[in-house]
Chains A and B, each alone.
Chain A
Amino acid sequence: MIKNQDIIIVMVRSFIPSRELVEGYELGRPFKIELPRGITLGELAQTVLSKNIDQLGIMAVNGEGAKKNLVLSPGDKVDLYALLDGG
Chain B
Amino acid sequence: MPSERFVIPIGPQHPALKEPGHFEFSVEGERVTGATVRLGYAHRGIEKACEERNWVQSLYLLERICGICSHIHTTAYCLGVERLAGVEVPPRAQAIRVLIAELERVHSHLLWLGVAAHEAGFDTLFMYSWRDRETVMDVLEGLTGNRVNYSANVLGGVKYDLDEARAETIRKGVDYLEARTYYYLELVVHDPVFVQRTRGIGTVTREQAEWLGLVGPAARASNVARDLRVESPYAAYDLFPVQMVLETAGDLEARVSVRLKELFESYRVIRTILDKLPTGEIKGRMPKKVREGETVSRVEAPRGELFYFIKSNGTDKAERVKVRTPTLCNLAPMMTLAIGHQLADMPMLLAGVDPCFSCNDRSIVVRNAQEAETRWTWEQLRRYGIEVYKCKR
Q: Do A and B come from one complex?
A: no
- B residues sitting closer than 8 Å to A (CB atoms) are none
- A residues sitting closer than 8 Å to B (CB atoms) are none
